[in-house]
Amino acid sequence: MFKNVFGSGFLVRTAHVILTWVITLILFLHDTELRQQEETGQLVQPVLFVLLVLGSVLLYFAVSLMDPGFILSEDRDLQFTLGVTEEQQDMIPPTTKSLRQRRCGHCLLQQPMRSKHCQTCQHCVRRYDHHCPWIENCVGERNHRWFVLYLAVQLLVLLWGGAHRLLCCVLRTGFSAAPSWQQWLRSDGVLLAVATLLALLSLVVLLLLGSHLYLVSLNTTTWEFMARHRISYLKHCGADENPFDRGTFHNLWGFYCVWGTVVWEQVYFREGSDQV
């Protein structure tokens, strides 16, 4: 289920963890609200913040090391003819055209619908969304919901413990305490640099989270949204047509609450849909 922690991306993951805890230490070692609360014995918020940071790191490793839905062999997975078993295949509505089976040109495995071969990971991935260099892993059927949860927790950490409170601390106390900007820069330059970094990271994570929630509500993926004109089962659809869209509520429910492999052929070939 999980990849080797010392495999590809080890340096990226190590840098992420080091940066996370270094920034956390800076928040507690400098004159910030978290340190003031710690010194006065108000430990509820500092402890909650540390636990939130720890949770974000654990989610990062879970998403980074988790199998995103790799298709490893035809013998291991019995769902290759149409992406379904023989029993499930009988449930697909009959149509006038025959299904064009897709075989990956790289790993030579037949691909279930919505899967794609990742050149970086060298595997086909079920319901492929994108390959994320931040986690050095693909985002696919098995880890997409955890990736969205990680983004939400990470954004909460950045906004609560960093960008807002740290920047307010710098603006409120930094300029007034130092007689000149050179002395202030020497004393509080680190805080300003950290606040700027956290503000930029907050913006990036906010945009990522917003875009993924929007795509999830439409039951589409980043790959399908960006390259629908090159995808065989979408390029014949209209610009605003999505054969996998079951309504916002059902899309969100299916994404967050339905576990296991989804037979997308059943959704695609429902009544009124055309085959590829």
Encoding tokens for residue 83? 């992406």
Q: Across the strands, what pairs with 124? A: 71, 117
132 catalytic? Reply is: yes
Q: Compute φ and ψ for 59, nearest 5 degrees.
A: -65, -40
Pair 123, 142: CB distance under 8 Å: no
- Residue 192, judged by CB atoms within 10 A of its CB (0-12, 13-18, 19+), counts as middle
> Could you tell me whether strands 116-118 and 123-125 are parallel, antiparallel, or unpaired per DSSP bridges?
antiparallel
- Give per-residue burial for 205-229: e unless 16+ CB within 10 Å, then b: beebbeebeebbeebbbbbbbeebe
Integer Cα distance of 78 and 114 in angstroms: 17
Integer Cα distance of 16 and 58 in angstroms: 12
- The interaxial angle of helices 144-157 and 44-65, nearest 10 deg, is 150
Q: Compute the half-sphere exposure of residue 120: CA atoms within 13 Å on the CB side of its CA.
A: 13
From the list 118, 124, 132, 169, the catalytic residue is 132
Q: In Å, how far from its chain's centre is CA 150?
A: 7
Pair 138, 131: CB distance under 8 Å: yes
Active site (catalytic) residues: 132
